[in-house]
Chains A and B, each alone.
Chain A
Amino acid sequence: MGLRNFLQKNRSIAKTEEAPPSAAKLPAKAQNENIYVASQWQLIWWKFRRHRLAVICSVIVIFLYLVALFIEFLAPYNPEAQDQKTAYRPPTTLHFMDTEGKFHFPPFVYGVTQKRDPDTFELVFADDTSKIYPLKFFVHGAPYKLWGLFPGDLHLFGVEGSEGRFFLLGADRQGRDLFSRIIYGTRISMSVGLVGVILSFVLGIVIGGISGYYGGTIDLVIQRLIEFIRSMPTIPLWMGLSAALPPTWTPLQVYFGITIILSMIGWTGLARVVRGRFLALREEDFVMAAKISGSSEWRIIFRHMVPSFLSHIIAALTLAVPEMILSETSLSFLGLGLRYPVISWGVLLQEAQNIRSVASAPWVMYPGLAVVLAVLALNFLGDGLRDAADPYGH
């Protein structure tokens, strides 16, 4: 056994890494070499950028929140302006070509004549091609107060004067412009998601943190509580709780009441994520290394642990927003959530509860499209963020 002596019972050979030498692992290694000095956030951004759909959706989400910021300016009409004459007016067509074949930009709308069908007594609307109302950008129209503070009357687009009215998405039972109402609904619906998630996040972090920090019996009790809440059917609970909100409350109070109710159940998901990440990280070698090299508890938490789970938390938060939006919409749709005069997509959808009105004016379902758009965009964005949150994973 000369060879054995030669090796002196030492079995080792220079290895650049211990990973199994499968080809699938190779690209990751190559990449790490190229992006050697990139920060973690840079890596996350690079990985996120590759998720094409998520990038598109992030643009949509930003757009929706911008809309929510400037609803007064973007909506062509006052959402509360009622007019019996325009009740259930179908969506107005925008025309680029007039009857003589002349091209217009911006487009224009025709005047509308209405008469009753002598047989069915239904209102029939028809274009009156003799009247042309051109759409203009930056027109002065219905006065408003931006954010309830700054008075103004400038709108992104509209028809000058009060003569020609147009309804991009039709009008509701009381003749209000649905397009303007959907835009106004953006502010409430999108912000319910944010406020609700922030509330649940605070609850989740505090309770999840307590659970992770103290461990033992407290952890066990909180875990059972979370499991318990998660095993409950939420909608009956929400319904029960929101039905109990006093009818005398102001819209603002109801708004916060509803968000609090939603987050009282919504925090469990986030608490689980926080606790789970915390526990997983506590076992990581780099935390152990920091501990051994004498880092203080605070330094370990904020310098080492928080940065490595912050991205996961952000992703979890993003995924929680659409759930909140859906919950608010469902509750308001049932008439147990936000109520008139608050405008949210769910409140708008109440009009669609009656199959007769849906059948005669299907456009009252348009607020649903806004919900679907927002929920899908936020879901994809959250998905992309979650994938990117761990840039070192495969």
Chain B
Amino acid sequence: MLEFITRRLILLIPTIILISIISFIIIQLPPGDFLTSYIMQLESAGQLVDQALIDSLKAQYGLDQPVYVQYWKWVSGIVTRGDFGQSLQWKTPVKDLIWERLAFTFALSLSSLLFIWVVAFPVGIYSAIRQYSLGDYLFTFISFLGLGIPNFLLALVVMWFAFSRLGISVGGLFSQQYVDAPWSWAKVVDFLKHIWIPMIILGMGGTAGLIRIMRANLLDELHKPYVVTSRSKGMPEAKLILKHPVRVALNPFVSTVGWTLPGLVSGSIIVSVVLNLPTTGPILLRALESQDMYLAGTFVLLLSTLTVIGTLVSDILLAWLDPRIRVQ
């Protein structure tokens, strides 16, 4: 087990390096470097360009040097100083802009993940052991809808419905008075009051998918000989199903975190744009539109890295659950 974790942790290093390279490519892709656009932006605003500032920035990011030097400067800045570069649009260091938004992104994604599990697990079990019952058909229908409706569209519909039928606005993660307020118990409560709608919207597709997976896996397991064995031992049915087939069907379920989490982080971006949530979504979109590349690149880097780490955690969890992996 320890060896397994070590091996995965070692694999994590090249993965993160690869992510950083891709993020840097994204920073580099638009024509010109960020300083040229910065200068242009200042000039078009009629401001004076401070040559000294430009020179110091140039030296800091190695803009007059080859690409790999620039990459190295960016990465070493991150590792040694936590410096992700400069945001053009906000005119502040990137590091001052990202952490809270990242935290909200992951708070939203993880709560959706929790929602998905809490709903999909019992519903999937129910659907499998009551196959072809009315309830099964109902859940099947709902989950097919959930699979077919892209979550941003669902967000739109919910918003439209709340706005024009119920007369309420569902955007945001906080009520007006708490947006800029410091954290307090009341703010947490307010946050919880707001997060459940985006959580459900974001989790809908994943829940639908996982219900299908849980149902299919459990249906596969329900008729396996070891279930018959346990039944032949005289085990009560409810206990039997939970202890045996559900336990085995749980493994593919846990391993889905590997792809559910990236999907949720992805989805949270676009849902946040629609619902105007203070997560990475809207700010990343704006950064990309205005070619604020260090900000955009940093988001791509951190979102991907954190997702990869989340996936790793789920893999370890899976190994811990399944002796067939653990003992090898």
* Residues of chain A with a CB closer than 8 A to B15's CB: 228, 231
Given contact pairs A334-B270, A375-B148, A376-B144, A358 touches B160 in the complex (Cβ within 8 A): yes
* Residues of chain B with a CB closer than 8 A to A329's CB: 150
B313 to chain A, nearest CB (A): 12
Asked if A236 is at the interface (CB within 8 A of a chain B CB), the reply is yes
Q: Are A239 and B153 in contact (CB under 8 A)?
A: no
Interface residue stretch chosen among A39-47, A77-85, A144-152, A240-248: A240-248
**A92 vs B22: C-alpha distance when bound (angstroms):** 50
Q: Are B150 and A330 in contact (CB under 8 A)?
A: yes
Interface centre among A232, A246, A352, A365 (most CB of B within 10 A): A232
**A81 vs B258: C-alpha distance when bound (angstroms):** 48
Asked if A50 is at the interface (CB within 8 A of a chain B CB), the reply is no
Q: Mark B13-32, 1 if CB is under 8 A from A, else 0.
A: 00100110011001001110
Q: Which of A100-148 contact B (CB under 8 A)?
A: none
Q: Are A355 and B159 in contact (CB under 8 A)?
A: yes
Q: Which of B255-311 contact A (CB under 8 A)?
A: 258-259, 262-263, 265-267, 269-270, 273-274, 280, 284-285, 288-289, 291, 296-297, 299-300, 303-304, 307-308, 311
Residue of B whose beta carbon sits closest to that of A237: B300
B298 to chain A, nearest CB (A): 11
**A231 vs B18: C-alpha distance when bound (angstroms):** 12
Asked if B132 is at the interface (CB within 8 A of a chain A CB), the reply is no
Residue of A whose beta carbon sits closest to that of B30: A244
Interface centre among A236, A244, A246, A335 (most CB of B within 10 A): A236
Q: Which of A326-379 contact B (CB under 8 A)?
A: 326, 329-330, 333-336, 349, 352-353, 355, 358-359, 362, 365, 368, 371-372, 375-376, 379
Q: Are A224 and B11 in contact (CB under 8 A)?
A: yes
**A231 vs B262: C-alpha distance when bound (angstroms):** 6
Residue of A whose beta carbon sits closest to that of B280: A236
**A330 vs B267: C-alpha distance when bound (angstroms):** 10
Given contact pairs A239-B288, A244-B30, A372-B153, A234 touches B163 in the complex (Cβ within 8 A): no
**A81 vs B30: C-alpha distance when bound (angstroms):** 34
Q: Mark B233-257, 1 if CB is under 8 A from A, else 0.
A: 0000000000000000000000000
Asked if A235 is at the interface (CB within 8 A of a chain B CB), the reply is yes
Q: Are A243 and B296 in contact (CB under 8 A)?
A: yes
**A351 vs B321: C-alpha distance when bound (angstroms):** 48
**A379 vs B31: C-alpha distance when bound (angstroms):** 39
Given contact pairs A236-B303, A239-B284, A365 touches B148 in the complex (Cβ within 8 A): no
Interface centre among A241, A334, A349 (most CB of B within 10 A): A334
Asked if B1 is at the interface (CB within 8 A of a chain A CB), the reply is no
**A241 vs B288: C-alpha distance when bound (angstroms):** 9
Q: Are A336 and B285 in contact (CB under 8 A)?
A: yes
Asked if A233 is at the interface (CB within 8 A of a chain B CB), the reply is yes
A384 to chain B, nearest CB (A): 13
Q: Mark B148-159, 1 if CB is under 8 A from A, else 0.
A: 111011001101
Asked if A230 is at the interface (CB within 8 A of a chain B CB), the reply is yes
Residue from the list B30, B156, B265, B269 in contact with A239, Cβ < 8 A: B269
Number of A-B contacts (CB under 8 A): 129
B232 to chain A, nearest CB (A): 15
Interface centre among A239, A241, A336, A368 (most CB of B within 10 A): A239
Residue of A whose beta carbon sits closest to that of B19: A232
**A355 vs B223: C-alpha distance when bound (angstroms):** 50
Q: Are B308 and A232 in contact (CB under 8 A)?
A: yes
Residue of A whose beta carbon sits closest to that of B304: A232
Q: Which of A46-82 contact B (CB under 8 A)?
A: none
Q: Are A240 and B31 in contact (CB under 8 A)?
A: no
Residue from the list A232, A235, A236, A359 in contact with B163, Cβ < 8 A: A359
Q: Are B156 and A368 in contact (CB under 8 A)?
A: yes
* Residues of chain B with a CB closer than 8 A to A236's CB: 265-266, 269, 280, 284, 299-300, 303-304
* Residues of chain A with a CB closer than 8 A to B266's CB: 233-236
Given contact pairs A326-B150, A368-B153, A235 touches B269 in the complex (Cβ within 8 A): yes
**A243 vs B29: C-alpha distance when bound (angstroms):** 9
**A355 vs B163: C-alpha distance when bound (angstroms):** 8
B163 to chain A, nearest CB (A): 5
Q: Are B19 and A330 in contact (CB under 8 A)?
A: no
Q: Mark B312-328, 1 if CB is under 8 A from A, else 0.
A: 00000000000000000
Q: Are B307 and A335 in contact (CB under 8 A)?
A: no
**A334 vs B289: C-alpha distance when bound (angstroms):** 10
B175 to chain A, nearest CB (A): 17
Interface centre among B150, B164, B263, B270 (most CB of A within 10 A): B150
Q: Which of A20-45 contact B (CB under 8 A)?
A: 24
B103 to chain A, nearest CB (A): 16
Given contact pairs A228-B15, A239-B284, A233 touches B159 in the complex (Cβ within 8 A): no
Asked if B147 is at the interface (CB within 8 A of a chain A CB), the reply is yes
Contacts A228-B15, A236-B284, A239-B288 known; list 7 others, CB within 8 Å: A232-B262, A237-B22, A237-B26, A336-B289, A353-B273, A372-B149, A372-B150
For the complex of A and B, list the 8 residue pairs with the smallest distance between their C-beta atoms, beginning with the closest: A244-B29, A243-B288, A235-B266, A376-B148, A240-B26, A233-B265, A233-B266, A368-B153
Provide 9 A-B residue pairs closer than 8 Å at the C-beta atoms, listed in order of the A residue. A234-B262, A235-B269, A240-B23, A240-B29, A240-B296, A336-B289, A355-B160, A376-B144, A379-B147
